[in-house]
């Protein structure tokens, strides 16, 4: 049976992994690439944004589940990257298929998921241990 572990920071969970062995993907209701999303959020220092932007502008989130009654009303205009339909079971199966696709396409050994409620962005951080051992 799977266990649930709550942690405070991403760095604590993945501090033992080489960043060269990490692959990221995720879901968001906005189709903006991560560089534009970072700019819009205005959370990171401008200098850091400029350093990260070239790496993040090619990263786009996968379509996400959008339930208007669960997400703040001011987010509805950003919801241009959503999984269609109204069936929660079908939404779950779509997300599971995304995870399987990510694991297969990146040839990963392990997939870990972290859900961030504050911005409804969920990402998968995964690594391929056999590839890491070669480095």
What number of helices (H) and strands (E) belong to the chain? 5, 4
Average confidence (pLDDT) over 32-41: 92
37 assigned to some structural domain: yes
Looking up residue 48, the CATH number of its domain turns out to be 3.40.50.720
Residues paired with residue 24 on neighbouring β-strands, in sequence order = 125
Q: Residue 37: which of 55, 54, 60 has the closest Cα?
A: 60
Domain with 123, as residue range(s), is 17-70+80-134
Which sign, positive or negative, has the C-alpha torsion 62, 65, 71, 73?
Answer: positive
- The answer, yes or no, to whether residue 112 has pLDDT greater than 90, is no
106 domain residue, yes or no: yes
Residue 5 falls within a domain, yes or no?
Answer: no
The answer to whether position 28 is within a domain reads yes
Whole-prediction pTM: 0.71
Do the domain assignments include residue 12? no
* Residue 75 placed within a domain: no
Inside any domain, residue 10: no
| Domain count along the chain | 1
Q: Which of 27-31, 81-85, 127-131 bottoms out in mean pLDDT, i.e. has the lowest?
A: 127-131
Measured distance CA(72)–CA(28) in Å, rounded: 14
Model confidence at 17, pLDDT cuts 50, 70, 90, reads low
| 77-91 tens-digit pLDDT | 899 999 999 899 999
């Amino acid at each position: 049976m799977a266990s649930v572990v709550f942690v405070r920071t991403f760095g604590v969970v993945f501090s033992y992994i080489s960043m060269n062995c990490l692959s990221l993907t995720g879901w968001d209701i906005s189709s903006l690439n991560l560089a534009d999303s970072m700019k819009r959020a205005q959370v990171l220092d401008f200098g850091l944004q400029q350093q990260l932007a070239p790496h993040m502008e090619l990263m786009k989130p996968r379509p996400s589940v959008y339930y208007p009654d669960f997400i703040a009303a001011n987010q509805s205009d950003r919801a241009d990257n959503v999984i269609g339909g109204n069936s929660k079971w079908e939404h779950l199966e779509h997300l599971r298929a995304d995870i399987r696709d990510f694991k297969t396409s990146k040839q990963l050994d392990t997939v870990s998921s972290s859900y961030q409620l504050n911005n409804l962005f969920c990402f998968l951080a995964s690594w391929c241990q056999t590839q890491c051992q070669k480095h």
